[in-house]
């Protein structure tokens, strides 16, 4: 099985100057349909928000040999 790129399962954005933006990427590889939950800890004043969540579907490679993963 080919190795997938390692991605962080937790996202931490720190030291963002006032009135600036920060961003980060992370996630998890899932083999089946899944529910997704976003959770922001420690924001008791409601300052932070999630602007975008992206999900990507793995498309089988029609040229992969039989018995090999389709990605």
Distances (CA, A) of 6 to 15, 27, 29: 24, 10, 10
- pLDDT grade, residue 65 (50/70/90)? confident
Does residue 64 belong to any structural domain of this protein?
no
Domain count for the chain, please give it.
Answer: 1
Do the Cβ atoms of 18 and 36 come closer than 8 Å? no
Does residue 71 belong to any structural domain of this protein?
no
Q: Which pTM value belongs to this model?
A: 0.43
Do the Cβ atoms of 27 and 37 come closer than 8 Å? no
Provide the residue range defining the domain that includes 44.
Answer: 1-13+23-55
Distance between CA 43 and CA 5 in Å, rounded? 31
Does residue 44 belong to any structural domain of this protein?
yes
- pLDDT grade, residue 34 (50/70/90)? confident
Does residue 43 belong to any structural domain of this protein?
yes
Q: State yes or no: pLDDT of 22 exceeds 70.
A: yes
């Amino acid at each position: 099985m080919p190795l997938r790129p390692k991605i962080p399962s937790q996202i931490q954005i720190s030291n963002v100057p006032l009135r600036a933006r920060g961003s980060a990427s992370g996630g998890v590889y899932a083999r089946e349909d899944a529910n997704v939950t976003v959770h922001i800890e420690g924001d008791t004043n409601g300052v932070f928000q999630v602007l975008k969540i992206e999900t990507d579907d793995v498309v089988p490679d029609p040229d992969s040999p039989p018995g090999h993963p389709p990605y």
